[in-house]
Structure 1
């Protein structure tokens, strides 16, 4: 968290202590934020939406004439009027309050793109600009690389990218050229000598005449080396302009704090991408093609990586093995355990797949002997496409959902314990007989947990989503799975960065 309030307290306490030793005026001269008194008393720029930052310019009073002195005598610079000191303190506190509010808004962002947009909006308010863009290009080369604009469409960003990189202010920062450490101001692009013709053309087309760019370098980096830089941010002015000294100081403070927050989100984004890649590599690269059935799968990996999995493998006699399951826990250990369990189930399915109870019994014994501290749920089905039949056994798993034109119902399965919970697991199998055009939907518990509702309500939501699927979608198992995801998990709950893993395996009989 960025604790600006602590900064305020430290500076105010220091200011009060200094006043006791050197006087109010000298204390302000030493601890004022930036610049000259006139700059401090300038009207403050507007804050981001929802924050009223307008502070009226203080009315300066004429210094009183001391007794026994001539009115023409110059005022004593060591004893400014109390009103001026109050104005300076009010401006200083207002600036710190602004920074506190803006950084609080920033730290409430939890996604990288959202944080970059907030950085652009807040920075534009601090420097008095209307548009801008941020280029995320970590110096370590590990990515992700992205460009996000404020008030600029994707086509506008494309036009800017056609300008030679060395001719752009943020390009010089990203390339580590001299003079970009503290920001690059271009107050009047069209009056600047030696401006690249392509840059002049793009600026005229997009309607900006000046820019101010600063690097994105976390304070914790401890250096300005390009390897520590996350990228650069630039704000664009419609008319020739540049931020004054006070604005540069405030936006500099804000950007340094923002870079710290972005660095944390960047590491989180990289971890999520790594876990998703690892999980995807342990799952089937593609589903098999078997006559008589159509297959589709959907997989969403949580931010920490989970143990949900699915499988579909051809078996002898034109049969098909279908499986979904979930390993307890999260993180790399759960992902590795999921991979071992899935590989073992494939071996058992090839040897005795026509008996799903035997497959899960062997899997339970293996889990209990090799990983006694871990449990798992699983559902395995021996599918005979020609007969439109699935022989199914489940271990603590949610029942499949049968979806057809005339019926939508959960398959009744016996209550059974998860694998690894009992000394000896056993449960009877059930048979599913499907009609032509019907789909059997296998899924993991993450689909129900992400709704945030009770189990009964989550099951009801799933049933309603499947029953309400349009007839056209029922002909495509992939479209049906997408419809169920969007209906059960609306408002982005089906995104890949949800708290729970989600797996759907749809099997449609022709």
Structure 2
């Protein structure tokens, strides 16, 4: 059984009753058939010593240890999210110290967040039971609080027999059926204290010195990896917060139309936007678009394009072609190396008319009780791709009770399907909105997102999604 299988099945390195045995069972690259020295055992009395054999024995043990650590650290390095890294660390540590269960508490020093608690072989309710023990009475709590003399691992080989422990510790251990624990602090050189891992044994036991050394080396590497993932997650959270700040804080209320919007930011921050602007004579300007690229540069470009489009809509909002032509000029002058797509619609809710133009953008979708169809728009290259952009606008009239969906192409790309299949999935999702939900544009938007992007289909794709729904009365 290799490292992967051992960790997947939570196979302990040794049974708790045999934790003081001089050799480790086969797990994570350690072969029980190879005699492995504990580095402290003396030759048996009455037998001739064999220095060469002893050295070879130790070398085999060291090679086995290096192989184990190499396999485990490679698996950990392959994790790209904080949650996957935490679960990998907890499972690998359990295999190294020979425990079947455990928990890991992530609580970076200085309230740097994010904080979370995960378990191995423990249900959510069991984790809650463990958390009822006073924090100061637990090893992980003492680590996290930075109490004196808590910067080294702590073993509790017989919890039920240790009268020095808090009575609540023994009570919870008896209820959950574990009799011993081994706690390992997690700290990185630059980030400082990150959290602690605790592994639980079903019988009184404690890891061998060699096992402690291996899990300590692994934990130090894991802490540095966690620190990098924490920094990445904070950067992603900051980018998402910045993107939300650049989007409208609210949607206008115009007689004859109701609006709802949904936005899902990409992990690295994307450049998709939506906007709704009240115009004179109870008119409404609606726009969606996407600035090419990702990260802070795309966010900044998105903010400039959205602000520019709002200004042009106020000046000449009745002519979507003129609005996008001005936006093309703005993009070419300010960011000549960037491309963008945009769609702008001038709506008169009282007359239920919509005049729109698009620059390389996906067509809107109108859906209601009697029809669901894409609006036919003229073909055009994206903004920034031509020396001068101009394409004719189109006009259509939504029926009473129909909802027009404006969306960015990230919605299609997140499906992972081909373009034709993605459009078909979107059309099917809109057509399948239950009648009871069609009165609320927010419910329509939510249903479409759930149907187009089932659970797991929209994770880790690096695509922004913006969806604007306008229901006409």
Secondary structure at the aligned position of 2:390 is classed as: coil
Is contact 1:450–1:493 with CA below 8 Å preserved after alignment? yes
1:202 CA drift (Å)? 2.8
Which residue matches 2:463? 500
Once the two structures are superposed, what CA deviation does each residue of 1:18-72 show, in whole Å capped at 9, x if it has no partner?
xxxxxxxxxxxxxxxxxxxx9784132645xxxx866247499xxxxxxxxxxx9
Task: Provide the TM-score with structure 2 as the length reference.
Answer: 0.87
Which residue matches 1:93? 63
- Equivalent residues in 2 for 1:456-471, closer than 5 Å: 456-471=420-435
Which residue matches 2:162? 192
Is contact 1:41–1:87 with CA below 8 Å preserved after alignment? no
Is contact 2:30–2:65 with CA below 8 Å preserved after alignment? no
Secondary structure at the aligned position of 1:276 is classed as: helix
1:393 CA drift (Å)? 1.3
Moved more, 133-142 or 437-446: 133-142
Is contact 1:485–1:494 with CA below 8 Å preserved after alignment? no
Secondary structure at the aligned position of 1:487 is classed as: helix
Query: Aligned match of 1:55 in 22, 32, 38?
Result: 32
Which residue matches 1:18? none
- Equivalent residues in 2 for 1:42-121, closer than 5 Å: 42-44=23-25, 46-47=27-28, 55-56=32-33, 58=35, 74-77=46-49, 79-80=50-51, 82=53, 87-121=57-91
Is contact 2:415–2:458 with CA below 8 Å preserved after alignment? no
Is contact 2:96–2:215 with CA below 8 Å preserved after alignment? yes
Is contact 1:486–1:494 with CA below 8 Å preserved after alignment? no
Secondary structure at the aligned position of 1:475 is classed as: coil
The CA distance in 2 between the partners of 1:456 and 1:203, in whole Å, is 57
Moved more, 370-379 or 38-47: 38-47
Provide closer, same or farther for how the CA distance between residues 40 and 196 of structure 1 changes in structure 2, counting only shifts above 3 A: closer
Which residue matches 1:327? 291
The CA distance in 2 between the partners of 1:502 and 1:183, in whole Å, is 46
The CA distance in 1 between the partners of 2:453 and 2:70, in whole Å, is 35
The CA distance in 1 between the partners of 2:318 and 2:409, in whole Å, is 25
Is contact 2:416–2:457 with CA below 8 Å preserved after alignment? no
Is contact 2:364–2:404 with CA below 8 Å preserved after alignment? yes
Once the two structures are superposed, what CA deviation does each residue of 1:373-393 show, in whole Å capped at 9, x if it has no partner?
323211111122222221111
The CA distance in 2 between the partners of 1:54 and 1:291, in whole Å, is 76
The CA distance in 2 between the partners of 1:429 and 1:155, in whole Å, is 59
1:201 aligns with 2:171: yes
Query: Aligned match of 1:384 in 348, 355, 363?
Result: 348
Is contact 2:437–2:443 with CA below 8 Å preserved after alignment? yes
Structure 2 regions of 5+ residues with no counterpart? 4-18, 38-43
Once the two structures are superposed, what CA deviation does each residue of 1:145-169 show, in whole Å capped at 9, x if it has no partner?
1111222233333333332222110
The CA distance in 1 between the partners of 2:153 and 2:400, in whole Å, is 67
Provide closer, same or farther for how the CA distance between residues 403 and 265 of structure 1 changes in structure 2, counting only shifts above 3 A: same
The CA distance in 2 between the partners of 1:280 and 1:73, in whole Å, is 74
Which residue matches 2:309? 345
Which residue matches 2:472? 509
Which residue matches 1:269? 233
Which residue matches 1:257? 221
The CA distance in 2 between the partners of 1:76 and 1:180, in whole Å, is 44
Is contact 1:213–1:233 with CA below 8 Å preserved after alignment? yes
Once the two structures are superposed, what CA deviation does each residue of 1:275-325 show, in whole Å capped at 9, x if it has no partner?
100001110122223333232222121222111100112222222221100
The CA distance in 2 between the partners of 1:233 and 1:484, in whole Å, is 41
1:216 CA drift (Å)? 1.1
The CA distance in 2 between the partners of 1:494 and 1:385, in whole Å, is 33
Query: Aligned match of 2:120 in 121, 125, 150?
Result: 150
1:399 CA drift (Å)? 0.8
1:139 aligns with 2:116: no
The CA distance in 1 between the partners of 2:129 and 2:87, in whole Å, is 20
Aligned residue pairs, count: 450
Computing the radius of gyration from Cα coordinates, the structure with the larger value is 1
The CA distance in 2 between the partners of 1:293 and 1:54, in whole Å, is 71
Which residue matches 1:298? 262
Is contact 2:261–2:469 with CA below 8 Å preserved after alignment? yes
Which residue matches 2:186? 216
Secondary structure at the aligned position of 1:373 is classed as: coil
Is contact 1:40–1:91 with CA below 8 Å preserved after alignment? no
Task: Provide the TM-score with structure 1 as the length reference.
Answer: 0.81
Is contact 1:465–1:488 with CA below 8 Å preserved after alignment? yes
Is contact 2:269–2:296 with CA below 8 Å preserved after alignment? yes
Which residue matches 1:29? none
